[in-house]
Structure formats: C-alpha cells, structure tokens
Amino acid sequence: MSVESLHTTAEATVPHPRWRLPVVGDVFGISIRTPVQNSMEIGRKLGPIFERNVLGNRFVFASGADMVAELSDESRFAKHLAPGVASLREVGGDGLFTAYNHEPNWSKAHNLLAPAFTKSAMRSYHRTMLDVAGELAEHWDERVDGSPVDVSSDMTKLTLETIGRTGFSYSFDSFRRERPHPFVQAMVGALSHSQRTTFVKSSALGRLLMRRSDRRNVANLEHMAEVVDEVIRARRDSAEAGPEDLLELMLRAAREDDPHRIDELNIRHQVVTFLVAGHETTSGALSFALYYLSRHPDVLAKAQAEVDAVWGDEEPAFEQIAKLRYVRRVLDESLRLWPTAPAYGREATVDTTLVGKYPMKVGDWVLVLIPALHRDPVWGDDPEAFDPDHFLPERIRSRPAHVYKPFGTGERACIGRQFALHEAVLVLGTILRRYDIVGDPSYRLKVAERLTLMPEGFTLQLRRR
C-alpha cells in the first residue's frame, strides 16, 4: 500500500508495531491465516489508526468512530480495492464487488441489477427461501438427539443453495450430497488462496513460495468458470423464456440491446460474484448468531418466544419476517462482534486531512477494520459483550452515525443487504421454532478467515421442541 502523504510530523505519526526490520518490515507476529484478528490485536495496543509494512507493502488501518465517519463522506472518499479485494479479481473480474470505480461495467451492472433487490423482487424470493430452509430442517431432523451438526458447513450449504436458486435457478443439490459440490470446493480453495497471498504475492520471494499454490488456484478458477458458463449457455440457448431472476435480467438486457447491457464475460463475473458474496457472508452471519444464541440461554428463550408469538404454527408470510424484531437484533449484534466481511478500503478523491491530523492526497487510502470499529468506546464500557439490546431503537439514535458498517458504506455498499437480512432472519426463525439448540460447553470460539469470517469447528446438538 502506498500512503506516503500520511506524513510523519510529530502530531501525525502513524504508529506501527515494534521491531520493524529492513526490507521485510513488520513480520514479527504476522499471521497469514488470521490477518484480521492479528490486526485487531495490534490495534488494541496501538490505537484506532496504525500501519503495517509487510515485504514492502504498507497498510494503514483505521477504526476510530470519528475517522470512519469522515471516511464515509462520499464527497471526499470513495471505495478502494484493497489488496485482499483486488486479488479476488481473479475470481470475480469486474463484477460488482471487485470492479474499480472507473470501470463502466460497475455502473451498468448496478443499474441493471438494482431492480432485483426491490421489495417486490424480495417478495418473489420468499418462497424459495422457505423451501431451502425446509430442506435444512429435513436434514437436521435426521440428527435430532443424535450426532452434532456442523453449523458452518450446513449454513454454507443453505445460503449457496438459496442464491443459486433465487439468482440463477440453479441447484447445487447441497443437502443431497455426501461431499460438497465441486464448485464449492473450488471456490473455497480460490478464496483461501486469495487471502493467503494478500501480504506476500507482490514480492519476488512471495511469488516463488506460492508457485505450487498458484497452480492449484488456476485449476480452481477454471472449474468455477466452466460451471458458470454452462449455466449461462443453458439459459441462453433455451427456447423458453427463463424465470425472472438475476441471470434473466442480464441476458434479456443483452437480447434487447438495453443501454445497461453487459457482455457475456461480465455476466459470468456477476454470477460468480453473487454466488460467492451472496452466500459466504450470510452463512457466516447465521453461524455466529447461532453460536451466541447457544451461549446465552436467556437470549435464546426470548428469541424463541418471539418466533412462537409472531409466527405461531403457520408458515410465515413475507411480511412476518420483518416482525421478528428481537431475532433481527440478535443478528445485528452478531454482525457487530464478527462482521463477516471484516474490512473495506477508502481512498481520498480530493486532497484532504483525516481528523485534522493525517494529510491525504488524491489516491491515498486506508483500510477500515470493521470489527475494531464495532468495538469502539461508543458501544459502551464492555463492547466485547454480546447484547442484542445494543440495537434497541433508542440506543441506535443515541450513537453517532457510521459506527456500524457490516455491509460497507456509500454507493459501493452491498447491493444485496436486504436479501441477506430477509434470508438470515427467516432461517433463524425457522431453526428457533423447530429446535432447542445446545452447544458444546467445552468449545471456545475459533474464527476462520478466508477473506470472510466464519466460526470453525462449531457444532450444535439438536432437540425437537
């Protein structure tokens, strides 16, 4: 990273870890498997802004509420593709998440796909979300009072199946397979490779060390492209009109010469982007929420009581999902403590000064470390504590703006936010109404990182209510 204009004047020195070495930089204590948690630990020691220099790459992290408020100012800052996201261009090309601001396909695709996330469109996905949640329940019913369920694995199956069917009318047969779909295996491999290479790939030594991993990654990327291209070809060559989903929106725009049309390569990039981003973050959010529910019996009981009162024994209608307000607060609080997309980059679009201390020229950028922002003192005396009441309306109004950012910020914030929230609340409600969940009392939360965050090794015992 280059932020040369964050000058080292006395009042604007950006702290960095001790024991910096020539050439290699701040390598003591670095973890390529858990860089987010590693950076959170450094931030606890160094404060709300600090830098890390790794093999000549400079990263500046910001998490103070006042800093993030300024970085959210769209008149001064815009999205920056930080190295971890830029490396995903191997996976998503110029799709919505990985496009540079100046690339025309971003605005074309955003305008083209925005109608797919309106309230009326969300209503049309509700039936499919219910069906997939029902398949999860059938899968879990076989394990009631038996072997524990692997929560993160099953939430990944559920969310991938949901976005596959709602977005592209494609099923991965997630709950009928003994092993994950080959697309899933390739995707996990590509994401893990991207995360591991963020710090080291730009150096000659790093490239040498990653050669074998790079070869495996090429094979993974080729397989993902083959699967998606086959889905696109089958729909494009069909004699019948396709269902009204994301893929149909893109193909119809191409057929009708819509001004927002995108070419077939970019359609592939958008499909991959939604398959990856549309399930990875939501599966993590559901897994963390279930973890905290299993650790807090009082919260679990209150959430179950709300589902019973609002839904009763009937299948929930679309409007009844948003009425689970306490369940939504549980989800929000889980995303506060462990936002599954844990960082985003912001670059200066004008020469400016951050919080009156750190001069930034056009193009200079910083990473907002969201889990650290979500533990800022504005959250109270014990920001590490799980408390859904953080999201009571009166508490939300009492906090400064821009201190809760699980979906990013500005015009490049997550386009699928409402989709993810509707799906997650629906699934949590389905689970809470059907089961008493019991966590392993000896389990200690371990967070895995593959660009998104996910509980690792977390299981639940299930009992039918």
Give the pLDDT confidence score for residue 343 in this predicted structure: 96
Using pLDDT thresholds of 50, 70 and 90, give the confidence band for residue 180. Answer: confident
Strands 343-348 and 77-80: antiparallel
Residue 414: active-site member: yes
The per-residue pLDDT for range 3-40, each reduced to its tens digit, is 444 444 445 789 998 888 887 778 777 777 898 999 99
The residue with greater pLDDT, 391 or 240, is 391
Residue 34: active-site member: no
Window from 45-59, 287-301, 358-372, 435-449 with minimum mean pLDDT: 45-59
One of 97, 274, 391, 414 is an active-site residue; which one? 414
Q: Give the DSSP letter string of 166-231.
A: HHHS----GGG-SS--HHHHHHHHHHHHHHHHTTTTTSHHHHHHTHHHHHHHHHHHHHHHHHHHHH
The residue with greater pLDDT, 233 or 199, is 233
What separation, in Å, do the N-terminal and C-terminal C-alpha atoms of the chain show? 53
Give the pLDDT confidence score for residue 5 in this predicted structure: 44
Most confidently modeled range among 89-93, 201-205, 445-449: 445-449
Give the pLDDT confidence score for residue 383 in this predicted structure: 97
The pLDDT of residue 160 is above 90: yes
The three-state secondary structure class of 78 is strand
The per-residue pLDDT for range 408-437, each reduced to its tens digit, is 999 999 999 999 999 999 999 999 999 999
Q: Would you state the structure tokens that stand for residue 359, as one six-digit string?
A: 């001069």
Q: What residue ranges define each of the domains in the chain, with the CATH number in brackets?
A: 102-341+376-464 (1.10.630.10)
The per-residue pLDDT for range 105-139, each reduced to its tens digit, is 999 999 999 999 999 999 999 999 999 999 999 99
- Residue 186 · residue 224 · CB < 8 Å: yes
Percent of the chain whose predicted confidence (pLDDT) is above 70: 94
The per-residue pLDDT for range 88-105, each reduced to its tens digit, is 898 899 999 999 999 999
One of 61, 97, 391, 407 is an active-site residue; which one? 407
- How far is the C-alpha of 451 from the C-alpha of 461, rounded, in Å? 28
- Residue 374 · residue 336 · CB < 8 Å: yes
CA-closest candidate to residue 251, choices 236, 238, 266, 273: 236
Percent of the chain whose predicted confidence (pLDDT) is above 90: 75
Give the pLDDT confidence score for residue 3 in this predicted structure: 45
- Could you tell me the pTM of the whole model? 0.93
The pLDDT of residue 181 is above 60: yes
The pLDDT of residue 382 is above 50: yes
Average pLDDT, the chain: 91
Window from 26-35, 176-185, 329-338 with minimum mean pLDDT: 26-35
Give the pLDDT confidence score for residue 450 in this predicted structure: 81
The per-residue pLDDT for range 189-201, each reduced to its tens digit, is 888 887 777 666 5
- Residue 367 · residue 82 · CB < 8 Å: yes
One of 156, 198, 273, 281 is an active-site residue; which one? 281
The pLDDT of residue 2 is above 70: no
The pLDDT of residue 375 is above 60: yes
Give the pLDDT confidence score for residue 237 in this predicted structure: 86
The pLDDT of residue 55 is above 80: no
357 annotated among ligand-binding-site residues: no
Window from 234-243, 324-333, 391-400, 439-448 with minimum mean pLDDT: 234-243
- Cβ neighbours around 219 below 10 Å, total: 12
The three-state secondary structure class of 461 is strand
The residue with greater pLDDT, 216 or 193, is 216
